[in-house]
Structure 1
Amino acid sequence: MRQTAEWVITNAKIHTMDVNNPRAQAIAVRNGRILAVGSNADIERLTHARTQRIDAQGRVVLPGLQDTHVHFQLSSADFYHSASLYEAQNLEDLLRLIKAFADAHPHKPWIRGVGFSSSRFSPHQLTKEVLDSVTGSRPALIFANDYHNGWANSAAFALAEVKPGSPEPENGHYLRLHDGSPQGWLSEDAIWAMHRVAPAYSEEDYLVAMKHYSRVFNSRGITGVLDAMVNRNLLQNYQTAHARGDLTLRVCGTAKVFAHRPLAEQVEELISLRNTYQGDWVSLHSAKFFLDGVLENGTAALLDARCDTGTNAELMFSQAQINEYFTAPDRERFQLHVHTIGDRAVRSAIDGIEYAQQRNGPWDARHQLAHLQVVNPADIARFKRLGIYANYQTLWAQPNPDLDPLVSAMLGPQRSEWLYPIGAFIRQGAVCMLSSDWGVSTYDPFHIMQCAVTRQSEQGNDQSPVHTPQHRISLENAVKGYTLNAASAAWRETCTGSLSVGKYADLIVLDRDLFTLSPYEIGQTQVLLTLLAGKEVHRHASFDA
């Protein structure tokens, strides 16, 4: 019996991302999956009286986009339940926003905020006394936009028992005064040590926030994410949200491995999580490692010392530990997902992956290095040879007047030519994904793609300053980084990533043709319709097709 379509989209410019059938006019959907892709006439033959129809009127259709490095659940909760500080340009702005939030939420036991720029505000500005002036006696913990730096007030330090003579957390630091008392600034795991003292978000807090931001992500064309740091509780929240019908995203997760915890216990937990969560909607497939911090606070690990101070940061794992801790989960067929900012961290991660391959034998692991801010060019060819994927946040590859002078002074002119070198990676055959690292910066994929193509400001034009233009990429590669390559990185390429027969009908309709317009207009793109497994999860108010 001939199958008929429940949904059809006709008169479209479909970029399928399927190399065997790259372009089409129409698509048919049945039972949440793609029934057929072809010409208008081909698809019309699959319709019947009850078939729902969309006339795309010549608009572009793409596979649903997938963000393969995002802190979706934690950032949803932070944005939904905390003060948003991303727009603060000066200390007056920052304090005004925090005070307004504190005044509006008098019953919250802790005041939380997120988003101040750690390159715009310095540690000597953000003292605990300054924060006390707008938070009073309630404890307060404020995250920088990079989530590697933070700011706390006197009440928070008192509750955390941070005082003269108190220990520093491993891989973290409290900036202290001469007498050993905390000044106010926190970096790396000191933030998370403080965070553990604060009341945790409730399960319902997470679920409410995720329901809201799932739809927000859908409105920008995102149908799948790879949450870059989950644990058992967060995975259970994802499963609960899915069961409620409130999670309109596919979620793949990576669980953090700690240098100070026994390896065998952590691998056992990874296996347990994978056995529990292995569906098309919520799954755990990889182990997360932080090898270094960030350039802004001097915790990025470099091959050569900083040019400005002659100092360097240590790796968060020794190389011997990296080799051991990479090999164990690789043996159990877990993907590795590694935070690497400095070129020493990048090389050490590659060395660790190569060591694991030599011990365990090669397999289709698709291990990922994320961020790749500073890369030694000699290491780029090793990505293709070892099958390592490069996960880039290209929004950061635009001129940044707050951060660029700091980074240039740290690295010097030669290394500064190899900042976020995604273009060189693609030319040398590495598989590259584009992602956001939300809530560090925007989740908007069209702004991120525009910066990948232009290496200029989101508001820029062809006369604007350019950040290392030799590493620009084509729009086609940018889209591939959000679709086919992203699906492969999340081990979802058999059911998503391209508009191919049998795959889920995760797709989006756009208001403009990305492939013909000026690259400076990519960020203005609006998503008119988003389907997830053939179900409408977003429709723009202007779209009445």
Structure 2
Amino acid sequence: MRVQLWDRPGAWEIALQGERIASVTPSAGEALGLALPAFVESHAHLFAGGVALGQLNLSAVHSEAELRAVLLPFAATVPEGEMVCCFGANYDLMGGRPTRAALDAVLQRPLYIVATDYHCAWANSAALQGVPEAPGVDLALGELHEFAAMDLVGRKAPSGGRQSLGLLAAEPETPDPERDKALIRAAMAECLRHGITRVVNMDGNLYQAQLFTELAEEGLPIDVSLPMTLVAGMEPDRLDALFAAARRPPVGRLSFGRVKMFMDGVFDTHTAYRVTDYPDRPGFRSEPLIGAEFVELCIRADALGLQIATHAVGDAAVRATLDGYEAARIANGARDSRHRVEHIDLLHPDDLPRFKALGVTASMQPVHPPGLAGLPLEPTISIVGADRWPDSFPWRALHGQTRLCFGTDWPVSPLSPLHAIRCAMTRQPWAPGNPDQRLTLTQALQAYTTTGAWADFVDHALEPGALADIVILSGDPSDPATRVLETYSRGVRSAFIA
């Protein structure tokens, strides 16, 4: 293939031999596209992404009229007797936060809407039938906070809610492996369409481990890393089984070697754990989803040679996560663990240098800040509080301290790396005087390619001998008109026509 390389001028000829790059040599001909190492999606949910491909995306809806305009035609395509399922809803979905009564007025058949952050959902009366009072469940408002509460309605979906059980470290009561593998295959095909050949799938349970193992034995079209999810209060036998799964050897293009934990939730539901009070709730800072047990699990996982990834949105959650990693280093000694903190929506300045000191990777999503990727500023920035805006989504600050890898948290946010890269380059401060956290094109590309691969313990480059994971673009990645022309995944070509 004759291309322009992202980091070298002129035209170059890339020759492949099997799964690897055989040579990269200068060429006198005309370049047919811009070649980069293929994108690494450092934080996604493939099973949920496959399910979302068949659901209604409400990310562009901000009023009741807009909701009716898209929901009613979609509902007409859903077979009678099935719950109507939507995702990507902003908290201003109906001009404000949706309610059970407001949704009843729009649709009478069972309706389930997942918020854009996937930590909250809304349901109408038909969908809430038989749902008990439980933590996180507000039956009067039809609002469900966090995964356990959401599952009480989500399990009624055509998918059975199985795609979300990895977030709970739970297993399905009624597995449907053939259907579910088809959904995962569709998600992997979507990744290739966006130039992605490696994904860290952040919601592993034993069921997904089996699904992905069977798929890997058949031959995965992309590389997948599957951390096992650990939660507080697990029975010893269950915990042992998940640790054993995390220690499995690779199967084809599937790798294990990792665990995932949740330290907190998100700001819009006031479940992000923070150092300072919520401005609208004096004296309230939320609390961690996992307490002292987190340190014990970090020490155990680290001693087994496993990588740890922890969801931490609030600054107190980030601090508690770093404390756990530091405790593991003290207990087990320093090693090249590449432990990760996922999201980091808010970071206390005192904890910034700890990333470098502990060798911790920052895994972030440039499509997550309010004001980007179609996300409204409110109510999130008011919930964060203006005094903490300078400490929010500190990409550039972290880039100067540690390794930074990028992803989208798909289907939480649009999967396109090109869109995310442009977000990283164009984000504006929320107020004058706030730090500019934008990255350069080169920095954003590195976070989506070579550094993302490094965080997943692999090398990634357009060099002879490297795996032939390559994306060919139509032009400059910062140009909104640029698209993916071809993806090579270990030498296998996928071409895309506009």
Q: Same fold (TM over 0.5)?
A: yes
2:369–2:375: 8 Å Cα contact kept in structure 1? no
Aligned-residue offset at 1:236: 2.9
Counterpart of 2:17? 30
- What is the Cα deviation at residue 375 of structure 1? 0.5
Query: C-alpha displacement at 1:329, in angstroms?
Result: 1.2
Equivalent residue, structure 1, for 2:154: 195
Distance in 2 between residues matched to 1:440 and 1:365, nearest whole Å: 27
- Which one-letter code corresponds to 2:38 in the other structure? G
**Residue type matched to 2:186 in 1?**
H
Give the equivalent residue in structure 1 for 2:423: 451
Map of 2:80 onto structure 1: 107
1:378 alignment partner in structure 2 = 350
Residue in 2 that maps onto 1:98: 71
Contact 2:342 2:364 in 1 (8 A): yes
For the pair 1:39 / 2:26, whether they are aligned, the reply is yes
Question: Alpha carbons of 1:418 and 1:324: their partners in 2 closer, same or farther (altered >3 Å)?
Answer: same
Match of 1:157 among 124, 128, 148: 128
The code of the aligned residue for 1:505 comes to A
State the Cα distance separating 1:362 from its structure 2 match: 1.5
SS at match of 1:229: coil
Alignment coverage as a number of residue pairs? 480
- Which residue number corresponds to residue 270 of structure 2? 298
Change (3 A) 1:325 1:405: same
Residue in structure 1 matching 2:226, options 253, 256, 259: 253
Amino acid at match of 2:43: H
Q: 5 Å matches for 1:224-235?
A: 224-235=198-209
Contact 1:454/1:469, CA 8 A, preserved across alignment = no
Matches within 5 A, 1:313-462: 313-318=286-291, 320-397=292-369, 399=371, 403-428=376-401, 430-456=402-428
In the other structure, the counterpart of 1:4 is: none
Deviations 1:53-90 (A, max 9, x none): xx76263211110101011221211222x233222221
1:186 partnered with 2:144: yes
Distance 1:267 1:357, change over 3 A: farther
Shift of 1:139: 3.6
SS of aligned partner of 2:198: strand
Amino acid at match of 2:496: H
Q: Is the 8 A contact 1:274 1:283 kept in 2?
A: no
Secondary structure of 2:122's counterpart equals strand
Task: Give the distance between the partners of 1:443 and 1:61, measured in 2 at CA.
Answer: 20
Describe the shift of the 1:303–1:501 C-alpha distance in structure 2 as closer, same or farther (beyond 3 A): same
Q: Which runs of 5+ in 2 are unaligned?
A: 163-175
Q: CA 1:196 to 1:58, structure 2 compared with 1: closer, same or farther past 3 Å?
A: closer
1:526 aligned partner, one-letter code: R
> Which residue number in structure 2 is paired with residue 528 of structure 1?
485
1:499 partner letter: L
CA distance in 1, matches of 2:308, 2:455: 11
Match of 1:88 among 45, 61, 67: 61
Q: Report the counterpart of residue 4 of structure 2 in structure 1.
A: 13
Larger Cα-atom Rg? 1
Alpha-carbon distance in 2 for matches of 1:73, 1:389? 25
Residue 208 of structure 1 pairs with residue 179 of structure 2:
no
| Contact 2:370–2:377 (CA under 8 A) maintained in structure 1 | no
Gaps of 5+ in 1: 1-8, 42-54, 177-181, 458-463
Cα deviation, residue 124, structure 1: 6.1
Please, what is the CA RMSD of the aligned residues? 2.8
One-letter amino acid matched to 1:13: Q
Give the Cα–Cα distance (whole angstroms) in 2 for the partners of residues 471 and 447 of structure 1.
17
Letter in 1 for 2:405: M
Q: Secondary structure at the match of 2:475?
A: coil
Equivalent residue letter for 2:387: Q
Residue 15 to residue 125, structure 1, CA distance change in 2 (3 Å): closer
* 8 Å Cα contact 1:433/1:482 also seen in 2: yes
1:49: which partner in 2?
none
CA distance 1:244–1:134, change in 2 (3 Å): farther
- The 3-state SS of whatever aligns with 1:34 is strand
Residues 176-215 of structure 1: per-residue CA shift (max 9 Å, x gap): 4xxxxx4311111311243345552643433333333333
Counterpart selection for 1:222 from 186, 196, 220: 196
CA deviation vs aligned residue, 1:228-287 (integer Å, no higher than 9, x gap): 112222233334444555x42211112211112135632432323541x61351122211
1:431-450 per-position Cα deviation (integer Å, ceiling 9, x unaligned): 00111011111111111111
Task: Using the TM superposition, name which of 498-507 and 208-217 deviates more.
Answer: 208-217
For 1:256-267, what aligned pairs fall within 5 Å after superposition? 256-262=229-235, 265-267=238-240
Change (3 A) 1:432 1:439: same
1:51 equivalent in structure 2: none
How far, CA to CA, are the matches of 1:300 and 1:104 in structure 2?
Answer: 37
Q: Is the 8 A contact 1:15 1:23 kept in 2?
A: no
Q: Residues 315 and 345 of structure 1 are in contact (CA less than 8 Å); yes or no, is this contact kept in structure 2?
A: yes
**So what's the TM-score if we normalise by structure 2?**
0.88
Q: Within 5 A, what are the aligned runs for 1:50-199?
A: 57=31, 59-80=33-54, 82-121=55-94, 125-127=98-100, 129-136=101-108, 138-160=109-131, 162=132, 166-168=133-135, 173-176=136-139, 182-189=140-147, 190-196=149-155, 198=157
Q: Note if contact 2:10-2:26 (Cα within 8 Å) is conserved in structure 1.
A: no
- Which residue identity does 2:281 align to in structure 1? T
Inter-partner Cα distance in structure 1 for 2:363 and 2:94 = 28
1:486 is aligned to 2:452:
yes
For residue 166 of structure 2, what is the aligned residue in structure 1? Answer: none
Matches of 1:263 and 1:302, distance apart in 2: 30
